[in-house]
């Protein structure tokens, strides 16, 4: 945010800024300009309290920038940028049409001298990191209106260049959205596959079975106490102050907590949260570790015997384990209850291996898709750093 006195409405200032990366046709288009956000649009707060939503309403009700319920009425019918001012400080959303907004959501309308999609892209690239820090150091935990109005916006004076930048980033957003939908489809495919590959509750054979095993007989349910060695006696917590940074994962109830300089396990194991975890269906209650690692006392440590580890992990993640969880402060999956959990097991090792291989292949596709999306997001972030000049780049 600029430390200079606020300029008059509509007054602009050339700051000698040019981006590091510029489209060829605009290489000689001159320096970019800077204006305060309040000079470029009208800014107000939403008009409704968060509890005024209606489940049957027909108009979007934005309770923060990235999620909404519905409303029976609307206060806005315009092209707008919404900025969450509270816990989601700095997050932005574009919307055009009739809607309502929460009192701590800022609504930007009436755009002047700037291409709206460009402004949305610029705010998305710069606003959160900049204003979050300022909000956290203020007495309130949300963005104040003067802070937002005085926010510096840097932009090319040529509307065609603004549009070109916005279209470039928008196409990347569309690609990320498309790849994210593919990821969701893969997750749904895996969920449906598991439901078919494992017997349903009360049944002893799965609905989908590989041809060579259709006459192989019934599956048998066995408890985790029968199927696994439980190695909880070897786990050990280390406080954050006692940990020394290193290369080995330090696991807790839901995954990696830290990386430290030592390990206590060096084998394929199955971890499942004891406390501080989620145990609902498809909430990744359990996960396999393959490498040298350390495990604290918030995760049970299991070594399956006579059953493929992937079979056990997949079934536990498919099943709602909350019926085995006791207590409320905090809820806990005790060792005794853990041992009672029943897992259906195919009658032959060969069928286990076939199912496990199928699930590993599906997981591989999901992992590859996640990496693809992360790569696109990283590419977009790097591109934005090149397309938008930093204030530090101002020419004296």
Query: pLDDT tens digits, residue range 235-259?
Result: 999 999 999 999 999 999 999 999 9
Say what percent of the chain tops pLDDT 90: 73
Strand 245-251 to 294-295 pairing? parallel
Q: Which of 28-32, 188-192, 370-374 has the lowest mean pLDDT?
A: 28-32
Is the model more confident about 380 or about 329? 380
Residue 97 host element (H or E): strand 92-101
> Does residue 333 surpass a pLDDT of 90?
yes
Mean pLDDT across 139-164: 86
Mean pLDDT across 194-212: 94
Residue 136 host element (H or E): helix 116-137
Rounded CA gap, 16 and 26, in Å?
Answer: 15
Residue 360 host element (H or E): helix 349-387
pLDDT single digits (tens) 15-26: 468 899 999 999
pLDDT of residue 370: 97
Handedness of CA 155, 160, 161, 163 (dihedral sign): positive
Mean pLDDT across 287-305: 96
pLDDT of residue 14: 46
Dmax over CA atoms of the chain, in Å, equals 83
Residue 151 has φ and ψ, to the nearest 5°, of -70, 135
| Mean pLDDT across the chain | 89
Say what percent of the chain tops pLDDT 70: 89
Tokens, residue 157: 């004076």
pLDDT single digits (tens) 24-75: 999 999 899 999 999 999 999 998 887 888 878 899 998 876 667 899 999 9
pTM of the entire predicted model: 0.82
Rounded CA gap, 94 and 362, in Å?
Answer: 35
> Does residue 2 surpass a pLDDT of 50?
no
Residue 110 has φ and ψ, to the nearest 5°, of 60, 50
pLDDT single digits (tens) 170-184: 999 999 999 999 999
pLDDT single digits (tens) 79-100: 999 998 776 666 788 999 999 9
Rounded CA gap, 190 and 99, in Å?
Answer: 37
Query: Strand ranges (DSSP E) for 231-377?
Result: 245-251, 256-260, 269-273, 286-289, 294-295, 299-304, 342-345
């Amino acid at each position: 945010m600029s430390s200079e006195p606020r300029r008059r409405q509509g007054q602009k200032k050339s700051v000698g800024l040019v981006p590091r990366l510029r489209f060829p046709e605009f290489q000689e288009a001159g320096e970019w300009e800077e204006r305060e956000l309040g000079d470029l649009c009208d800014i107000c707060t939403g008009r409704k309290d968060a509890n005024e939503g209606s489940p049957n309403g027909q108009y979007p009700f934005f309770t923060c920038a990235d999620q909404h319920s519905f409303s029976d009425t609307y206060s806005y019918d315009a092209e707008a940028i919404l900025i969450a001012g509270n816990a989601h400080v700095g997050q932005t959303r574009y919307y055009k049409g009739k809607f309502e907004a929460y009192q701590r959501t800022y609504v930007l309308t009436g755009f002047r001298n700037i291409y709206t999609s460009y402004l949305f892209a610029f705010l998305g690239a710069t606003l959160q990191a900049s204003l979050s820090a300022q909000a956290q150091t203020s007495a309130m935990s949300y963005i104040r209106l003067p802070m937002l109005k005085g926010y510096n916006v840097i932009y090319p004076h040529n509307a065609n260049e603004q549009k070109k930048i916005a279209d470039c980033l928008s196409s990347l957003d569309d690609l990320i959205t498309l790849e994210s939908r593919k990821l969701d489809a893969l997750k749904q495919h895996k969920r449906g596959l598991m439901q078919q590959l494992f017997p349903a509750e009360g049944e002893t054979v799965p609905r989908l079975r590989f041809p060579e095993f259709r006459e192989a007989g019934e599956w048998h349910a066995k408890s985790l106490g029968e199927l696994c060695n439980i190695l909880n006696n070897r786990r050990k917590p280390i406080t954050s102050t006692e940990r020394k940074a290193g290369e080995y994962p330090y696991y807790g109830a839901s995954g990696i907590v830290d990386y430290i300089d030592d390990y206590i396990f060096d084998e394929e194991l199955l971890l499942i949260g004891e406390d501080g975890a989620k145990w609902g269906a498809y909430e990744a209650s359990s996960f396999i570790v393959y490498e040298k690692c350390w495990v604290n006392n918030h995760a049970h440590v299991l070594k399956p015997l006579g059953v493929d580890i992937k079979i056990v992990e997949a079934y536990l993640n498919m099943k709602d384990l909350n019926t085995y969880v006791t207590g409320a402060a905090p809820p806990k999956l005790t060792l005794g209850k853990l041992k009672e959990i029943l897992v259906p097991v195919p009658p032959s090792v060969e069928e286990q291996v076939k199912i496990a291989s199928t699930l590993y292949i599906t997981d591989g596709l999901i992992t590859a898709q996640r990496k693809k999306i992360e790569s696109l997001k990283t590419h977009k972030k790097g591109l934005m750093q090149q397309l938008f000049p930093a204030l530090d780049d101002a020419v004296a």
